[in-house]
Amino acid sequence: MRQVRDRFAEVEMQLGKTMFQGIDPRNEGASPEEVFSHMKLTEIFFSNLGVSPFKWEIWYENDLDQAGHAFCVEMRDWKYDGFSMNG
């Protein structure tokens, strides 16, 4: 868990570059980084920390999503492994 704290800025920088490729909610030519900049961290969830690869989730809300979904970023070790939304 300390490693996540120490490396979280690095993780978010990578997510900002990759997570929203090809998604432009306002059709204004937004880059993935611009879309990600609207993400607000709400929770980090760890499960089975002793198992490799370790899986964890980063939960966000995004003010561009008027429906109010929560976004779950799925991580496998230090790599982005997809995302899902509630609702």
pLDDT in tens, 49-78: 788 888 999 999 988 888 888 999 999 999
pTM of structure:
0.84
Please state, for a pLDDT cut of 70, what percent of the chain lies above it: 97
Give the confidence band of 85 by pLDDT, cuts at 50, 70, 90: confident
Sheet strand arrangement including 39-47:
39-47, 55-62, 70-76, 79-85
- pLDDT given for residue 46 in this prediction: 92
- pLDDT given for residue 87 in this prediction: 65
Contact 26, 48 (CB under 8 A): no
**What's the CA gap between 63 and 79, in Å, rounded?**
25
**What's the CA gap between 37 and 67, in Å, rounded?**
18
**What's the CA gap between 39 and 70, in Å, rounded?**
10
Query: Which residues have CB under 8 Å from 40's CB, separation 6+?
Result: 60, 61, 62, 63
Please state, for a pLDDT cut of 90, what percent of the chain lies above it: 43
- pLDDT given for residue 48 in this prediction: 77
- 44 pLDDT exceeds 70? yes
